[in-house]
Amino acid sequence: MSETVQLSSELQENVTMRPFSIDDAEAVAAAYIRNREHLAPWEPVRPEEFFTAKRQGALIAGKLQRLLDGTEVPWGLFDGDVVVGAVTLTGIIRGPFLSGDLGYWVDKDYTGKGLCTAAVSFAAESARKMGLHRVQASTLLHNTASRKVLARLGFTEIGVAPEYLRIAGKWQDHMLHQLILGN
């Protein structure tokens, strides 16, 4: 049974977490431009078009459709109007699985302040309120910061999935983690 889910939260002094809207496209493109080098080792190779407001608008439109369909929640982290990170709950599957996948990043100038921990904690609690049984997150084996966040929040390691995702141009092994939510 799902509870009422509040999808926005004040995470820290100046940082709010809320679902993206189409109006955020320009701010999202600017954030990806600022964080291009910071994110490159941890993400798929991005085509040049990815860094444009037009492409980000189209991507957000797809995410909002999936939000309506109940298969995704695309949160942004905002300092005022500036995008300083994102947390996405994708691939929400109901039936006997009741599961979703969490992905996230934090702006290079906002790391090391507990922001990701607060944001993933809020996302997991939202997933619990949506009635999900578990959330999963996968990290590169050498992504110490990300693994630390998940461990701190009580995620357990399922094991290593060989060549799980194509990141930074090559298929790379990932550690799969899950958090059982109690539903």
Ligand X SMILES: CC(C)(COP(=O)(O)OP(=O)(O)OC[C@H]1O[C@@H](n2cnc3c(N)ncnc32)[C@H](O)[C@@H]1OP(=O)(O)O)[C@@H](O)C(=O)NCCC(=O)NCCS
Chain contacts with ligand X (rule: CB under 6 A): 39, 42, 104-106, 111-117, 139, 143-146, 148-149
Closest contact distance (angstroms) between CB of 2 and ligand X is: 26
Closest to ligand X by CB, 29 or 102: 102
Contact call for residues 77 and 17 (beta carbons, < 8 A): yes
Residue among 66, 65, 35 at smallest CA distance from 50: 35
Cα distance between residue 17 and residue 4, in whole Å: 17
DSSP annotation of 173? E
Closest contact distance (angstroms) between CB of 175 and ligand X is: 9
Closest to ligand X by CB, 126 or 139: 139
Closest contact distance (angstroms) between CB of 38 and ligand X is: 6
Closest to ligand X by CB, 29 or 155: 155
Closest to ligand X by CB, 115 or 135: 115
Closest contact distance (angstroms) between CB of 78 and ligand X is: 14
Closest contact distance (angstroms) between CB of 43 and ligand X is: 7
Cα distance between residue 8 and residue 75, in whole Å: 8
Closest to ligand X by CB, 144 or 156: 144
- Please, which residues have CB within 8 angstroms of residue 90's CB and are 6 or more apart in sequence? 66, 71, 72, 100, 101, 103
Residue 62 to residues 21, 59, 133, 151, 166, Cα–Cα distance (Å): 11, 5, 25, 31, 22
